[in-house]
Amino acid sequence: MPGPQPCSHAERMSRARAIAETFRAHFDVLAIGLYGSLARGTDGPFSDIEMYCVVRGEGIDEDYEWSEGDWKAEVNVQSPEVLTAWAAELDEFWPLTHGSCVNILPLYDPTRFFESLKGYVFDHADEEYDDLIRGVIVGELYEFLGKIRNAAASGETENLSALAVEMAQYGAYLIGLANRTLYTSSATMFSESRVLADKPSGYDQFCELVTSGRLESPAQIARAADRFWEGIEAWAGEKSIPIYQRLEDLLE
């Protein structure tokens, strides 16, 4: 059977160390370390290998991704300022993407570069988070609500389940930003978001509907999305984050 084949954590770690030594022999390496499930020790029998390789120099940003048939690996080769700039980025996907800059298992790091990298991830002002939160609400969640209402009203519900899943995903990003929290992985994002304290009412119910897979009823999806949106409006108001504006005010 083609594709990924099972192996143990110990076997995967042995492959990762061999890869690290190969890259150290090929590049002028400052640090090399694992991220993802292997770094956390939560890898399953079919997990891949993900690795940062920090090399001396400037402007270096290359991805090496390959499969040897029954297993796969990805090594991001970057100079220090490239990886540091990535760690310092803040966008709507930050709660999901930037755990890779924090949960790193060093395989070679004599200068403790990866430890210093963590400081950049959370170095953002509250105003930056609030601007992103408003952007997620107005730019994404509002639009998903409109599409869900359109689908329910027209009876053209072919993509309604997918819209509900996407709305829940952006809801999780919103909650991660509000709580300044990084999720472990996409597989655990929904469950981790639901235990966070600062979130709109209606999210837990909408998220539970999505994760349960009970998405057969267009009316039920529309009602759950409406309740979630009502919670978002109230929640944003409590935070003094404006989600409704006149064009004239925006242009000022």
Give, in order, the Cα–Cα distances in Å from 249 to each of 74, 243, 252.
47, 12, 5
pLDDT given for residue 140 in this prediction: 97
Check pLDDT > 80 for residue 88. Answer: yes
Judge whether residue 204 has pLDDT over 90: yes
Predicted local confidence at residue 1, as pLDDT: 65
Mean pLDDT of 101-112: 97
Structural domains of the chain in order of their starting residue, each with its CATH number = 9-121 (3.30.460.10), 126-251 (1.20.120.330)
pLDDT, one tens digit per residue, over 110-134 is 999 999 999 999 999 999 999 999 9
Q: pLDDT tens digits for 162-174?
A: 999 999 999 999 9
CB 109 within 8 A of CB 143: no
Enzyme catalytic residues: 143
> Measured between alpha carbons, how far is 139 from 148 in angstroms, rounded to an integer?
15
Q: What is the structure's pLDDT at 245? A: 87
- The pTM of the full predicted model, rounded to 2 decimals, is 0.93
Per residue in 129-148, pLDDT (tens digit) is 999 999 999 999 999 999 99
Give the torsion sign (CA, 83, 85, 88, 89): negative
